Structure 1
Amino acid sequence: MPRTVAVGLDGSPESRAAAEWAAREAKLLGVPVKLVHVWEPVPEPMAQAPLLGAETHQHWTERVPREAAQGLRSRHPGVEVMTEQLPGHAGELLTKVAKESGLIVLGSRALGGLGGFMVGSIGMSVVAHAESPVVLVRADEQAADEHESDPAGVPSTATAFRPVVLGLDTAAPDDALIEFAFEAARRRGTSLRAVHAWYPPTYYAYAMPLDAELHASLAAGEATALADALRPWRHKYPDVEVVEDSHCGNAADALVAASAEASLVVVGRRVRRNPFGTHIGHVTHAVLHHGTAPVAVVAHG
């Protein structure tokens, strides 16, 4: 379990939405939430300017986390809220904060009517390099969006949480990824929908389209592989209802579609030791940019 739920805060609408999500998650976890405000030091010539002296700069950099913390304390009584200010490069420092806290939440801009996320360079850098889970939250994300609709068809915090969706590769199921998803579902008192998408082996390419019997045989094998991967976790979390979703098709498309009815989407990222580039995988990349629910990226070996 994370020691704190950290948030990268810069005062933008997306970072405020991330802070709200983090406070709700911190309450579920029973840990503090830490608002981390990273600011680039002002170059010396600018710091000496009459309208941007050291005292003025300090006032504005302290105001962002102070006001955000006050708002969270009033809206989320019982949740301990801490603040931290760090000077330097945001991507590097927030990656370090993620390691220290065990979980970090970042905001991303929504893509308007198209849905999905617009993930900035800082967010992508943290996702690509942090070895602790990173959660991306859209600017327009509301608490009610994570819940089922009420009888009037309106999402409401008075109703149950929507399912947690897990993207799972049955060829290499990772314990850290699966455990994170089951724990998230358990905390929310909701079901876990495990999504596994597959394509026929390449040597069937010349036999396309597949006849019905061969397709059914392949589908049964893939469904069995998914059930086998989840079986020990069903025993470990008997109170979590599990829905197994295995079908032929594109994994990214399946997860993006599932995100429309999810409270949280959990996907993986293989840890790369190469310090260059953003190694997050094409499926995770697609979910980050096109999913419509908060997305947790869990690094694994």
Structure 2
Amino acid sequence: MEQVILASSDPSAPSRTAADWAAQEARLHGLPLRVVYGSPQEVSEAKVVVCGLRREDVADPQTAGSPLPANVEAAARPLVFVPDNLCGPLHSEEVTLGVDARNPAAAAIDFAFDSARIRGSGLHVVNAWSLPASAAELPFAIPEEDRAAWENQEVQQLADTLQPWREKHPEVPVLQDVVLFTPAYALLHCSAGAALVVVGRRPGAEWGYMLRSLLREAACPVAVVP
């Protein structure tokens, strides 16, 4: 059965923007585009499901409620949310991937490498990390050599995590970025220069601060990969 790119369509501006983005994605993949009225339902042949996103439909990251979690939690396919204020062609084709190198989501990494490959672009892999809990017990400021050692461990962990995909896709230039920020802050900052931000989501996991922040504020489409 041939795969398709599935998109929603209705008179709203977000749906029209999402349909236009889905049409471009279908051309890049060389796949048919199927446009349905209203919220797209899961179909077995959908490679990607594209949805328009109204920013006001996403609850503030400080609150728990939102109309969108049911769509995300039930999805068996990658969902790409295209924001309603996305205007004109993107200036960059770079794909940004948020990854936890110590607990990587393989499906999201696959999706991000493939998205960069079909665009002929680079892949910016962002691993946000935090100081270990033991750092809070130090009586004085953290010695620079300790911080450097912890950061080097994160860099090596990320390199080891990505190695199988880099060998599989040698044509995709990869920028590995280890940053001492929260994941939400790091990815929102990167979204300003990206064509697509990709994050993973484990089935059954509740929405987190990072995902709500991205959908509410990201400057580009956001792919959520189960």
TM-based fold match above 0.5: yes
1:296 to 2:207 alignment: no
- Are 1:268 and 2:213 matched, yes or no? no
Match of 2:52 among 101, 107, 111: 107
Cα separation, partners in 2 of 1:281 and 1:134, compared to 1, 3 Å: same
- Among 55, 75, 96, the alignment partner of 2:42 is 96
Shift of 1:171: 1.3
CA positional deviation for 1:101: 1.4
Q: What is the rounded CA distance, in whole Å, between the counterparts of 2:163 and 2:141 in structure 1?
A: 32
Q: Does 1:211 align with 2:147?
A: no
User: For residue 156 of structure 1, what is the aligned residue in structure 2?
Assistant: none
Q: How many residues align?
A: 219
CA shift in 2, pair 1:7/1:122, >3 Å: farther
Are 2:127 and 2:179, in contact at CA under 8 Å, matched by a contact in 1? yes
**Normalising to structure 2: TM-score of the pair?**
0.89
Opposite residue 83 of structure 2, the aligned amino acid is: R
Q: Which has the larger radius of gyration?
A: 1
State the identity %.
Answer: 38
* Structure 1 pair 144–266 and aligned structure 2 pair: CA distance change class (3 A): same
**Which of 181, 184, 192 is equivalent to 2:112?**
181
**Match in the other structure for 1:24:** 24
Which residue does the alignment assign to 2:121?
190
Q: Distance in 1 between matches of 2:55 and 2:212?
A: 15
Q: Say whether the 8 Å CA contact 1:106–1:134 is kept in structure 2.
A: yes
Give the Cα separation in 1 of the matches to 2:69 and 2:35. 19
- Gaps in structure 2 of 5+ consecutive residues: 60-65
Instruction: List structure 1 runs of 4+ shifted beyond 3 angstroms.
Output: 118-124
Report 1 or 2 for greater relative contact order, CA contacts < 8 Å, sequence distance ≥ 6: 2
How far is 1:291 from its partner?
Answer: 1.0
- For residues 1-46 of structure 1, give each alpha carbon's deviation from its aligned partner in whole angstroms, at most 9, with x where no partner exists: x8111112222000000000000000001111111113xxxxxxxx
**What is the distance in 1 between the residues matched to 2:133 and 2:216?**
28
Matched position secondary structure for 2:200: strand
Question: How far did 1:202 drift?
Answer: 1.1
Report the structure, 1 or 2, having the larger helix content: 1
Q: Confirm or deny: 8 A CA contact 1:3 1:31 kept in the other structure.
A: yes
Evaluate the alpha carbon distance shift between residue 188 and residue 22 of structure 1 in structure 2; reply closer, same or farther with a 3 A threshold: same
TM-score (norm 1): 0.68
Tell me the C-alpha RMSD between the 2 structures.
2.1
Query: What residue number does 1:199 align with?
Result: 130
Distance 2:70 2:5 in 1: 19
Unaligned runs of 5+ in 1: 39-89, 112-117, 149-160, 273-277
Q: For residues 102-181 of structure 1, what are the structure 2 equivalents within 5 Å?
A: 102-110=47-55, 118-119=57-58, 123-145=68-90, 147-148=91-92, 161=93, 163-181=94-112
Aligned-partner Cα distance in 1 for 2:143–2:11: 56
Following superposition, the deviation at residue 142 of structure 1 comes to 3.6
Q: Deviations over 1:210-257 (max 9, x none)?
A: 110100000000010011111111111111100000021211100000
Cα contact 1:269–1:284 (8 A) shared by 2: no
